[in-house]
Amino acid sequence: MTSGEQHASFEQGRITEGPQGQIRTAGGEQRNRVFGLPLHILLIAPTFLIVFGLLVYPLGYAIVLSFSNKILTGSVPFKWVGLENYLDLVEAKSEMWTSVGVTLRFAIVGVLLEFIIGLSLALLLNREFRGRTWLRVGLLVPLMVPPLASGLIWRIMYDDSFGIFPHLVRTVGANPPIFLGDPDWALYAVVATEVWRSSPFMVLVLLAALQAQPVETIEAAEVDGASGWQVFRLITLPFITPVIIVALLFRTVDALRTFDLIFLLTAGGPGTTTEVISMFIYRWGFRHFKLGFTSAASILLMIATLIICIFYLRMLVVRQAEVQLTQE
């Protein structure tokens, strides 16, 4: 092969953006086609076929069902009910609002605590000290535990007869509450488990962001006489803000989907004091078998999740725009 040919084929495979954003591969059509079909279509086809079949199609099905009175078993004849399910859900005395309240308290208290613990520990781990590596390894452990197993572990620790927590409370001389059975305590007992399980995620992600920060900028600020707090507030914090937003987004949507943990710890009880939205949907779908009603609730949850995602992503975009402005 001469060098000229080499150069030509080098050009062939290179993909350049065409005028309308289509691919133009100077003479390289051959390489990007298999059986006469564009290669990239063949490559993404299987993924999107099953995503379509098992996510998009069911979602459409759920929308259709949400306008019906479909139940799983029973003698009630199927009929279309229009918006009735949605109206039942959003009316003031609907149980959904209780569940929304529980979910919000669970998500906000949980994610906030995780963030505070996460940032403090990330700042701690960003310093040099003996045993730092071991502490990092220790943090990984709760992340590996299946949510279900962590529910079991905490349940045995909370148990009001032989659990370790009531025992510790008794040793200091106080009268322990029934952690998982007391309406005032149950939700926070669940939050504690969730914080234990998920705060390592915050720590590790924020630590990664802190360690990506160039040392020079901090040193320069210190030379200019900035205090530790000033360095953190004016240099470190803005630098890690995008990562903070991403981490909060992940934790928030995960808090919204929490099911296993609550299923195991309290199953939504006592009463409905820990019935997060996933438990609410589970109960109406698989205890009362009201599938039409449940589908409507699912669709509302989907819309709420989308709104939360958009909220965080806009924060991210606004933030990026600000950075660009200050750089100009």
Partner 1 sequence: MRTKNLKRIRNVAMFFVVAAVWVFYFFPIYWMVSSSFKTRVDTFAIPPKWIFWPTIQFYISSFTNPKFLKVIQNSLIITGTTVVFSLVLGAWAAYAFARFRFKGSLTLSFSLIVARMMPPIVFIVPLYLLFNSLKLRNTHVGLILIFTVFNLPFTVWMLKSFFEEVPIELEEAAWIDGASRLQALGRVILPLIAPGLAATAVFAALLAWNEFLFALLLGGPDTTTLPVFLSGFLGERDVEWGDIMATATVAVLPPTLLVMLVQQNLIKGLTLGAVKG
Region binding partner 1 by CB under 8 A among candidate stretches 44-52, 85-93, 213-221, 225-233: 44-52
Residue 315 CB: number of other CB atoms within 10 A? 16
Q: Which of 123, 221, 246, 323: binder of partner 1 (CB under 8 A)?
A: 246
Instruction: Report 64-103 residues binding partner 1 (CB under 8 A).
Output: 65
Does 174 interact with partner 1 (rule: CB under 8 A)?
no
With vertex at residue 203, the alpha carbon angle to CA 163 and CA 143, rounded to the nearest 5 degrees, is 50
Region binding partner 1 by CB under 8 A among candidate stretches 37-45, 174-182, 226-234, 320-328: 37-45
Q: Are 117 and 124 in contact (CB under 8 A)?
A: no
Which residue is listed with tokens 């995620």?
201
State which residue, 92 or 215, has the beta carbon closest to partner 1.
215
> How many residues lie near partner 1 (CB under 8 A)?
101
Instruction: Report 189-208 residues binding partner 1 (CB under 8 A).
Output: 196, 200-201, 204-205, 208
> Any long-range contacts for 117-122 (C-beta under 8 Å, 24+ apart)?
117/195, 117/199, 117/202, 117/203, 118/199, 118/201, 118/202, 118/203, 118/205, 118/206, 118/247, 119/202, 119/206, 119/244, 121/199, 121/203, 121/207, 122/202, 122/203, 122/204, 122/206, 122/207, 122/209, 122/210
State which residue, 196 or 232, has the beta carbon closest to partner 1.
196
Query: Mapping DSSP to helix (H, G, I), strand (E, B) and coil, where does residue 26 land?
Result: coil
Instruction: Report 296-325 residues binding partner 1 (CB under 8 A).
Output: 298-299, 301-302, 305-306, 309
Shortest spacing between CB 91 and partner 1, in angstroms: 21
Shortest spacing between CB 328 and partner 1, in angstroms: 25
Instruction: Report 252-281 residues binding partner 1 (CB under 8 A).
Output: 253, 256-257, 259-260, 263-264, 277-278, 281
Does 234 interact with partner 1 (rule: CB under 8 A)?
no
> Exposed, middle or buried by CB within 10 Å (0-12, 13-18, 19+), for 304?
middle
State which residue, 10 or 93, has the beta carbon closest to partner 1.
10
Does 247 interact with partner 1 (rule: CB under 8 A)?
yes
Region binding partner 1 by CB under 8 A among candidate stretches 35-43, 107-115, 183-191, 228-236: 35-43
Closest CA to 105 of 292, 272, 244, 287: 272
State which residue, 134 or 229, has the beta carbon closest to partner 1.
134
Q: Which of 119, 121, 187, 248: binder of partner 1 (CB under 8 A)?
A: 121
Region binding partner 1 by CB under 8 A among candidate stretches 12-20, 75-83, 172-180, 227-235: 12-20
Q: Which of 78, 80, 97, 286: binder of partner 1 (CB under 8 A)?
A: 286
Q: Which of 89, 186, 209, 231: binder of partner 1 (CB under 8 A)?
A: 209
Does 128 interact with partner 1 (rule: CB under 8 A)?
no
Backbone angles phi, psi at 176, to 5 degrees: -70, 145
Partners of 16 in the beta sheet?
24
How far lies 94's CA from each of 84, 90, 91, 187, in Å? 13, 6, 5, 20
The CA distance from 140 to 127, in Å, is 19
